Structures are given as C-alpha cells and as structure tokens.
Amino acid sequence: MESDDLEAELADTITRLGGLGPAPTRADVHALRERVGVLFSKLSRTVPDGPRHDRLHAALRRAEQLLVHASERADRAVTVAHISAARRRAAPR
C-alpha cells in the first residue's frame, strides 16, 4: 500500500532528522525539507481522513519543527565557521 510506504518514508525522514547532529549542513536540511513537503503531498493524496491521517499529519508537523531547529543549527555552524576563518586570517603570523 502506498500509505504504508508513506509511513516508512516518514519514519526514515524523522530518523535522518535525528541523526543530523549538532552542525548539519544547509544542503542536508534543504533536502529533508523538500522530502517533508513531498510527504505532506502524499499524505493528502493517499490517506483518508481519520485517526491515522491525524497521527501522520502530527508526525509531519513535528518533523517540520525539527527542521526549523536543524536549520538554526546549520546557520549557526556557518556563522561560527566564518568567525573562525576571520580570526585565523587576522591572527599575527
């Protein structure tokens, strides 16, 4: 069933989100954001309204929240890298 595939894809996406670590790349976050968008689309097409739909929709909303936090960490990692590089360039030789 396509809706079972959706559940497996959602579980895989959430696992990947959890495995991003403290400094994910912006590319990783972007790829997962696109994947969550596709899963939202599949959810509306394949799972009829009801408790299962509500549960999967809530899980996708949680995945979006995790993406926001991952995006913030990615931005912070880039900022830290830029600051570190600037300090290295400015350091006396």
> What DSSP string describes 10-72?
HHHHHHHHHTS-SS--HHHHHHHHHHHHHHHHHHHHHS-SSHHHHHHHHHHHHHHHHHHHHHH
What pLDDT sits at residue 6? 86
What pLDDT sits at residue 57? 93
- The Cα–Cα gap between 18 and 32 comes to 11
- The Cα–Cα gap between 63 and 17 comes to 8
pTM score of the predicted model: 0.76
Residue 19 is given by DSSP the state: T
Would you write out the chain's pLDDT as a tens digit for each of its 93 residues? 566 788 899 889 888 888 888 888 889 999 999 999 999 999 988 888 999 999 999 999 999 999 999 999 888 888 888 888 888 888 787
